[in-house]
Amino acid sequence: IEETHDIVIIGAGGAGLTAAIEAKNAGADVIVLEKMPLAGGNTLISGAEYAAANNWLQKKEGIEDSVEQHVQDTLKGGDYKAKEELVRTMAENALAGAEWLRDEVGVVWEEELMFFGGHSVKRSLIPSGASGKEIITKQLAKAKELNIPILLNTKAVSLITDNGGKVIGVEAEGKDANYTFTTNKAVIIASGGFGSNIEMRVKYNPEIDKTILSTNSVGSTGDGIVMAEEIGASLLGMEYIQTYPICDPLTGTLLYYDDARLYGHTIIVNKEGKRFVEELGRRDVMSMAIKAQTGHVCYELLDQKGFEASKLQENHGPELEYLYKNNLLVKADTIKEAADFFGIDAEELQSTVDRYNGYVADGKDPEFNKRSLPSTVEVGPFYICKAAPAVHHTMGGIEINSKAQVLNTEGNVIEGLYAAGEVTGGIQGTNRLGSNALADITVFGRIAGQNAAK
């Protein structure tokens, strides 16, 4: 099947849908290709919190912030490996993007802000329901209203270029037919990251091998990165892969049981009953430490008072049910009983706990320097949850400029090609701060859509 459109967008996640709405509003004829049977990608399954300096809730709460502070936090969080020009573009346009989602797309934001690690102030908006479902549902409704076709089960496989290297179309495979799309204006790649592609992960970072699961959608296989590289695009920071330490060892899904750790209440041990890492350390450090233990897993121990203080039952009841049912969480009257459930060395665990309780009393942990020691582990019943690290976000990808144009390895613009979202590299450096992804994909999705339509 051959078709011609002004713009073809690869991927119907947050970045692709944003670009589609903007391009259509600018008067272009747009089509979106989505390889999965369902739109939404990683955006759909994320918490979708959105970092925006100077937002309306900050004003209401009297929180002082600035675009410059957001830029500095992001650069520092990424170990100064990001392209500053792109970080600036993200931070400067983040608030306008959040307002656009609210006013143009109909996204409802909650009335409170969230405070993520690495941000120097509370600046992150929370979508209704604290889920990307709010974003994607509203974007799909808007796309429908604007008559933007979204071809599901249709996978882009390669870019078509003319003799001068300009991108003029996309080859795609549908369920029942193959397509050749020709573009009058541009192709926008918005196909997300490569967290679910083990081979590609290992190619760029051998540590992130198959023993590490993925929190990502199965569609995150880096297709757009490969397609762009094939026609000479420059890639940035491909080795920077973010893992989250506490995930479901069966599926890779991020576990909210981990809230208890963030409050400071848990002890993390290995099968031998020993602590091996600071429980409040960096995500990457903890993940690699867990990977190095027996079975590539860890065990998070919590007592009843920590359990209650972390509001696990109130906030995450269904997850706890799931964990009990799948033998990933045990509740027992004694530490020994809980340890035996998982075959953890119970005697060693008891002495680990006794030592830890001593550290809490002293207010100092000489073994791992745990930065916060709010409570002992001594009041039964006791809980142990089995967990493993999983890939959460891939920072690397296609190099773009602040107009979302794709650059080649010589640093020149590849005509007719734009990219936005997790598929791009260089914006989050070595490590993305929580809630920067939504700002990133919205800001660059809008820019890509607007510019491609010109």
Instruction: State the residues that interact with ligand ADP by CB under 6 A.
Output: 10-16, 33-36, 40-43, 155-156, 190-192, 217, 219-220, 223, 421-423, 441
d(CA 454, CA 449): 9
Q: Which one is catalytic: 88, 261, 282, 283?
A: 283
- 298 bridge partner residues: 387
> Which residue, 268 or 398, has its beta carbon nearer to ligand ADP?
398
> Cβ(157)–Cβ(137) under 8 Å?
no
Minimal CB distance residue for ligand ADP: 13
Check if 283 is active-site.
yes
Residue found under tokens 């959105």: 50
For residue 381, whether the previous peptide bond is cis, meaning omega lies within 30 degrees of 0, is yes
Q: Determine the 3-state secondary structure of 397 from DSSP.
A: strand
CB of 452 to ligand ADP, least distance (A): 15
Choose among 83, 185, 182, 151: nearest CA to 417.
Answer: 185
Q: What is the DSSP string of 202-269?
A: HHH-TTS-TTSEE-S-TT-S-HHHHHHHHTTB-EE-TT-EEEEEEE-TTT-PBPGGGHHHHTT--EEE
> Which residue, 10 or 302, has its beta carbon nearer to ligand ADP?
10
> Which residue, 213 or 312, has its beta carbon nearer to ligand ADP?
213
CB of 136 to ligand ADP, least distance (A): 8
> Which residue, 190 or 212, has its beta carbon nearer to ligand ADP?
190
CB of 207 to ligand ADP, least distance (A): 23
What are the distances in angstroms from CA 319 to CA 297, 342, 345?
Answer: 19, 19, 26
d(CA 438, CA 116): 13
CB of 194 to ligand ADP, least distance (A): 9
CB of 223 to ligand ADP, least distance (A): 3
> Which residue, 155 or 271, has its beta carbon nearer to ligand ADP?
155
- 330 bridge partner residues: 384
d(CA 227, CA 233): 9
Active centre residues (catalytic)? 283
